[in-house]
């Protein structure tokens, strides 16, 4: 393991974040604030409490998850797609670095950015609703695990994508619907029994549920199920990336 290349990639990616501060940090914060205004204040005041939590507070973990998933995927996918698109990836492929070091650099940077963003959104939400974090350790664990897992997924998408349209495809068609239908804005108890069953097939449900538990001690599924699901997902992403680098899929002709 050589840490210089990891550091070089990490710092270059973080520098890109700083250059594009507006898109990277400010715009997700603004859009989350809009959710609070619309769902939390305007609509939420007409929705009764869920498990003793006001609706505005109830959606905080879900909103953070929504941003965490979409931003992790889009950051990490863009980070590796751009050198592929510009051709500067030749340098990465010809450098004396292992696959693990490449992934640590890119995914580490994307995940750091998402975690930072998650914490900023958490702080922002404090302006709108009273905050309460029952299990801070688990909250951070879920935050980090989710950011890393979905940054890995984004990295895979970035390698798979052959154009900007495909780069947008998965976040738009898969991640956003799964998050919206994953209990970000409601408790799955509120659904008819059949749809409750269907919802349990959605991996995001387990993430949102576990994350919400770390805030309020209430959850749709058990904590163990949440932890197992996210670890499975993490393992699947790691295995896919291992396969990509072994075969040179979409990287080396």
Applying CB under 8 A, which residues contact another protein? 2, 4-5, 7-9, 11-12, 15-16, 19, 82-83, 86-88, 90-98, 248, 252-253
Nearer to another protein, 98 or 176 (CB): 98
Torsion of CA 112, 155, 227, 239, to 10 degrees: -140
To another protein, the closest distance from the beta carbon of 17 in angstroms equals 12
CB 158 within 8 A of CB 77: yes
Nearer to another protein, 95 or 119 (CB): 95
Nearer to another protein, 70 or 112 (CB): 112
To another protein, the closest distance from the beta carbon of 4 in angstroms equals 5
Beta-bridge partner residues of 50: 53
The three-class DSSP label of residue 50 is strand
To another protein, the closest distance from the beta carbon of 62 in angstroms equals 35
Nearer to another protein, 192 or 253 (CB): 253
To another protein, the closest distance from the beta carbon of 6 in angstroms equals 9
Structure tokens that stand for 191 in this block: 């659904």
Name every residue whose Cβ is closer than 8 Å to that of residue 122 and which is 6 or more positions away in sequence. 60, 64, 131
CA-to-CA dists, residue 8 to 3, 94, 185, 246, angstroms? 9, 15, 39, 23
């Amino acid at each position: 393991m050589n840490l210089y290349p990891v550091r070089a990639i990490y710092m270059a990616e973080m520098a890109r974040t700083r250059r594009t501060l507006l898109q990277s940090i400010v715009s997700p914060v603004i859009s989350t604030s809009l959710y609070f205004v619309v769902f939390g204040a305007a609509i939420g005041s007409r929705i009764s409490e869920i498990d003793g939590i006001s609706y505005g507070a109830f959606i905080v973990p879900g909103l953070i998850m929504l941003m965490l998933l979409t931003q992790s995927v889009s950051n990490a996918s863009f980070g590796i797609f751009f050198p592929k698109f510009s051709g500067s990836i030749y340098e990465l492929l010809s450098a004396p670095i292992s696959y693990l070091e490449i992934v640590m650099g890119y995914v580490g940077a994307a995940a750091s950015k998402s975690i930072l963003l998650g914490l900023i959104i958490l702080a922002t939400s404090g302006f709108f609703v009273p905050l309460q974090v029952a299990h801070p350790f688990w909250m951070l664990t879920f935050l980090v695990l989710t950011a890393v897992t979905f940054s890995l997924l984004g990295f895979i998408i970035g390698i798979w994508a052959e154009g900007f349209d495909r780069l947008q495809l998965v976040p738009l068609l898969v991640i956003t619907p799964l998050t919206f239908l994953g209990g970000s804005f409601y408790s799955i108890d509120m659904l008819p029994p059949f749809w409750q069953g269907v919802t349990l097939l959605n991996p995001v449900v387990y993430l949102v549920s576990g994350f919400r538990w770390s805030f309020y001690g209430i959850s749709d599924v058990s904590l163990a199920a949440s932890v197992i699901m996210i670890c499975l997902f993490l393992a699947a992403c790691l295995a896919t990336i291992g396969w990509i680098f072994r075969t040179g899929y979409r990287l080396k002709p």
